[in-house]
Amino acid sequence: MSTPLPFVPSVATGPSAARRAVLTRRIRWFVAATIAYNVIEAIVAITAGTIASSTALIGFGLDSVVEVSSAAAVAWQFSGTDHERRERAALRVIAVSFFALAAYVSVESVRALLGGDRADHSTVGLALAALSLAIMPILSTAQRRAGRELGSASAVADSKQTLLCTYLSAVLLVGLAVNSLFGWWWADPAAALVIAVVALKEGRDAWQGRACCAPTGPGPVAPNAGGCTDGCRCDGDTAPATNLP
């Protein structure tokens, strides 16, 4: 009778100390670039949206403000030597920022739909949406890769916030274009509602810490490290971690 093999748990390894230092610096640069771009984006979008009475454009500008607060939370986290200890607090800030955006945009969108508020054409808004649609995916992808390799849930969550800007840029572009070309005034607040729904989902995920389940340090990592549950993984991984028989 054969003897059963002993149970061997799966072991994940993280990057070396030198690699972690490189990734940390890289994330700081991505965060700085995100803050700089979104400050400009927020000012332009909110100003153009106010002039055009566009709920979607104002909501897009407010999302840029949320992105700044999200990136600032990550910048604060990585300003210390032991950034893992600040992980949960940074995620909470990101989540609350998402919730605030969703609440405001939802109220304003419903008010615009019920009141029949019509947004004017905005050339500046169309150009801004197209520009963000080109820039945001690059920043998001770069920061997401660094955050996943480092095992930082907050860095990955912030990259998802940046990726959200890409989706919202597309939604905004369609809403503004349809309103300008066909006079469908309801397309603007409808686009804003899409922004609110996506923001609510991302806020919930950030609050629950679903952004990443990668190793957070060099060497073997115990189950549930970094607040993750057994078998979970970073979004985009092909399969969850499993135990060998």
The torsion angles phi and psi of 209, rounded to 5 degrees, stand at: 70, 40
Over the chain (245 residues), the average pLDDT of each successive run of 10 is 52 70 84 88 91 82 82 77 72 83 82 74 88 89 86 79 80 82 80 81 78 46 40 41 37
The whole-number pLDDT of residue 44 equals 94
Question: If you search the block for the tokens 């800030």, which residue do you land on?
Answer: 93
The whole-number pLDDT of residue 2 equals 54
Rounded CA-CA distance 176/197 in Å is 18
The whole-number pLDDT of residue 231 equals 37
- 48 burial via Cβ count (<10 Å: 0-12, 13-18, 19+): buried
The whole-number pLDDT of residue 47 equals 93
Pairing of strands 219-221, 12-14: antiparallel
Q: Tell me if the pTM is above 0.85.
A: no
Q: Is the dihedral of CA 181, 182, 185, 190 positive or negative?
A: negative
The whole-number pLDDT of residue 131 equals 92
The whole-number pLDDT of residue 3 equals 57
The whole-number pLDDT of residue 115 equals 74
